Structure 1
């Protein structure tokens, strides 16, 4: 018998009871004491220090990193529940400032470690277990590390610089309310509710939803554009001018521990395959009985059916699909619901979108979604629970090795979506619904691969333009040109889409994060092909990949999985799978 699930809010008691609680006060005091005591290690850090002393130093940092991670997590989750709550805003700012101060007090360890000669570093790293990759990766930043006083200045600057700009952008955009006429009645809605209408069968409603979105963002467009340019200049000045990195995307690649060439190869292959999606959009135009798709129409359903899924149906569908892949996956995902670690209600002021947040590996991760009964929301639920599975499986490691590196961050989430989609395709008898699922797969492939790569291409250009003092109008023109290249002659793009770039949160808070979506989707296509060929024997190997967390480099993890991302042929293989999906659709007579 399946359980019944209802949308609701999460319970954060496992972290802290409130920002004013004694537990928060105690955690802060513990960390202040740690920082004072840790200063005593400064004199003990020498090239010839003993292994046991070195491990004691690492264990002390690991133990206290869990505490600060919980504070950061709690402040962010608390803020996400109501981004307009002034107390929540103040608490986020307080913890960010405290975190920066703490980092400055303990900064000397990382600087010492990066400056240490290779022979001493290799001797100390040996047999450090979960710490080894963290230590080895830290040394990758050696050429770009500044002096201790300079690093401290950057940390202090970030609190009122890049962090403040990100918080300002979030606070401005999360207060937006969108008024849209639906079924003859004007309704006020959140962005999540508004975006459900871009998949409406009603072409006029789709257009009005997009127009309203970019009218609201466009009203603040010059301000949001200036916030972005200020953030980009901050990011460029720190990473390129001060640290000496080759480019801002190289800074992201270094953080991801990926060679620049791998990312360049991915982006080159994606651009060369944009024709697949242009061909798809021309086919979709025939199904929608229009000469040419408008940008408003790219996610339009080809069927008139307006299928909705209750939250209960969605949760049970996702859990069942996990169980069929591996019963462990269902049992692990269920814990997120049982422990009330999911916030699923649509509430005014709540952060839009969806995310999974795992911090201390001793605790289950938390999930935020805005569930609105749409088919896309079911996929989003599977996606975020996939992230949760990744967090849980990697939780056997310490906090420095239990995360997921950005290149692999979307692996479990995208794989979970594919497991769900395959289940729906296998069980659906209605040819029309099966066709709709294939269309949805193509829509998703576009959204997570080509769209994200073109975001990254725009970011690269936008960073250059910002450093050259470009106006916001020039940024808008560059973005429209980016869209024209992406869609070719397959899609008509209207003027208001020039403001789309200021509505993309990731380019504000994590430059070049977006290519990870394309990386993850194409990687998963390769892994999923292996699963379909091998069946059950694939499952333990996949679990091992997720369980690795950040205990080794992404390239090593992928090499172990038999995947060579250095080769253009690997990425092309993913696009070949998409081309096959398109061929299936082309074989269906247009109704």
Structure 2
């Protein structure tokens, strides 16, 4: 059980205050306390249940009839729920304060035990994948309740060509806690402990606070923040290079043993998406760089009265922006109003997040950066983490993460194994929630300047979500290809990073000395290789989906809730078919990119 990654940090937050009463998590729906008797009880149950499962089923799956196989799947699902509940609790507590050694130890100890206890289960997917296709088809035809799990089986059996021997798979399972998981933790704790000295600040700032200054109206503060980031990243660049070298090499070794054709194959399989669909997305976005990011940033340079933009101007507020602090109550009402206007049901599902301690919004020492929504397990409910600073973009972050939460609540009805949505579709409800909120604000704009500000902010968010993430994907592809040829020095990785920056951002930019190290703080490269294209996939999909909604398609809301409720029980082709959309159509992505281009057209027209 792993925690989700924060969404891309475009507008990081500093310290809370003056935003009203910010909610905090109440984790008691998982466990009352770390030393609650239920924690020990569930750990003991998990140990016994895993051993019993292996004793009852290892070497026997091929002999089970349909009813017996269904009973086996239900037992496996129950184990998944208990393990997920334990690790969700441990992980969420840790993310509240990653610098608290007790919380770190609690999570590490639980991770060690859960890994040990679940090692006997490794046989299950391996043995299941050895079942003959005709035999499995017969079992599914004999029991409708078992057939419901076919999407789970299909995803599992997609790994058939790449699985190793039972003994090797068990070894890799056991070894994971001192492999990738250990390097991930080193990265997280290093990042959480970084401090940055800036002029005018009484105390050193953490990463979140320093990144936040890149959106400050004062250009001198933005420059100081960018240079402080570069100085500290450079100081630790050997460590970050070692983390990336090690993880990329470990992945290469695993992929080679599994005979994976490309470093990206595992991600595509996990996402249940065809490589050619991802390639079509990537190619469409790269081809659109000139009409999207290149064109927008030239406009922004003009608005700012600059011949050239520096990297610290990329997310700067526009000169016509009036600095605005949005209180928590206003943020909540804005998002909930947008949700309710789309469908009352959507607001009803979202309401408990505010009322029952399902959101942790304030910025606190040691708290993990960014934002996420974690589904925990299908028998409890999701939790949303924010770092709320009262900026307009923070309202969009709330809309985004709350969209995830609504999606996770609806998908939970599928049960533990079928509720998990592939990353490519997991961003659908979150980005759609952002779009609903944006459109509501845009419709309420009173002046041309207000409309321009909103449009520019949305375009920047879309560029960050689509253009930047595909550029990140290209960087990862280059990084893993280069590492396969040998050890990479920090300068090697820096050069790979810079090779994609000018291409994606365009000719309006100059790049300060030190910017070449900014790959170092992106958590997705460390935690989940090639994850980043899911953001672009989700944004493009939602843009096309929203166009269908805007056309007044009858029954759209009902179809939309059906799609979210499906969780991981259907392929993206099945989910999009009711809307007349098909992500495998090469022209599909152009629809979404055209929406961004249309916003830039409107901004250009405002110049006349």
1:411 corresponds to which of 417, 422, 428: 428
Q: CA deviation at 1:91?
A: 1.8
| Separation of aligned partners in 2, 1:519 and 1:46 | 37
Task: Give the aligned partner of residue 528 of structure 2.
Answer: 510
Distance (whole Å) between structure 1 residues aligned to residue 127 and residue 321 of structure 2: 64
Q: Secondary structure of 1:518's partner?
A: helix
1:105 lines up with 2:120 in the alignment:
yes
Deviates more, 1:364-373 or 1:536-545: 536-545
| Deviation of 1:285 (Å) | 0.7
Shift of 1:178: 2.8
Q: Map 1:264-275; keep pairs closer than 5 Å.
A: 264-275=279-290
- Say yes or no: does 1:117 pair with 2:123: no
Runs of 5+ in structure 2 lacking a partner? 1-18
Deviation, 1:85, is: 1.1
User: TM-score normalised to the size of structure 1?
Assistant: 0.96
Aligned residue number for residue 198 of structure 2: 180
2:373 to 356, 372, 378: 356
Say whether residues 1:571 and 2:586 are aligned partners. Answer: no
Describe how 1:313-324 pairs up with structure 2 within 5 A.
313-324=330-341
Q: Which stretch shows the higher mean deviation, 508-517 or 84-93? A: 84-93
Q: Whole-Å Cα distance in 2 between the matches of residues 60 and 551 of structure 1?
A: 19
Match of 2:541 in 1: 523
Contact 2:360–2:386 (CA under 8 A) maintained in structure 1: yes
Count the aligned residue pairs. Answer: 584
1:198·1:210 contact (CA, 8 Å) conserved in 2? yes
1:435 matched residue in structure 2: 452
Deviation for aligned residue 1:113: 0.7
C-alpha deviation, 1:186, in angstroms: 3.6
Q: Shift of residue 46 of structure 1?
A: 4.2
Residue 67 of structure 1 pairs with residue 67 of structure 2: no
Give the 5 Å matches for 1:447-458: 447-458=464-475
SS at match of 1:429: coil
- Structure 1: distance between partners of 2:201 and 2:33: 40
Residue 583 in 1 paired to residue 601 in 2? yes
Gap runs ≥5 in structure 1: none
Q: How does 1:169-318 map to 2 (within 5 A)?
A: 169-181=187-199, 184-238=200-254, 240-276=255-291, 277-302=293-318, 303-318=320-335
Aligned partners of 2:77, 2:109: CA distance in 1, in Å?
Answer: 22
**Cα shift readout 1:366-394 (whole Å, capped 9, x = no counterpart):** 01110011111111111000000100111
Q: Does the 8 Å CA contact 1:336/1:342 hold for their aligned counterparts? A: yes
**Aligned counterparts of 1:356 and 1:289: Cα–Cα separation in 2:** 39
Secondary structure of 1:494's match? coil
- Residue 70 of structure 1 and its aligned partner are, at CA, apart by 0.5
- Please report how far the alpha carbon of residue 273 of structure 1 lies from its aligned counterpart in structure 2 after TM superposition: 0.7
- Whether the 8 Å CA contact 1:125–1:135 is kept in 2: the answer is no
Query: Equivalent residue for 1:559?
Result: 577
Instruction: State the alpha-carbon separation in 1 of the partners of residues 94 and 554 from structure 2.
Output: 42
Q: Structure 2: how far apart are the matches of 1:215 and 1:535? A: 53
User: CA, structure 1 residues 91+112, in 2 after alignment: closer, same or farther (shift >3 Å)?
Assistant: same
Rounded Cα–Cα distance in structure 2 between residues aligned with 1:72 and 1:185: 38
Q: Is the 8 A contact 2:469 2:535 kept in 1?
A: yes
Deviations 1:202-238 (A, max 9, x none): 2111111222223222221111111111011111211
Q: CA deviation at 1:47?
A: 3.1
> What stretches of structure 1 move > 6 A for 4+ residues in a row?
none
Aligned to 2:153: 135
Q: 1:228 to 1:185 in 2, by over 3 A?
A: closer
TM-score by structure 2 length? 0.93
Deviations, residues 314-372 of structure 1 (Å, cap 9, x unaligned): 11111111111111111111111222011111111010100000021121200111001
Residues 1:10 and 2:25 aligned together: yes
- How far the C-alpha of 1:140 sits from its partner, in A, is 0.8
Q: 1:147 aligns with which of 160, 165, 173?
A: 165
Q: Does 1:377 align with 2:377?
A: no
Instruction: Tell me how far apart the structure 2 counterparts of residues 417 and 387 of structure 1 sit (CA, whole Å).
Output: 11
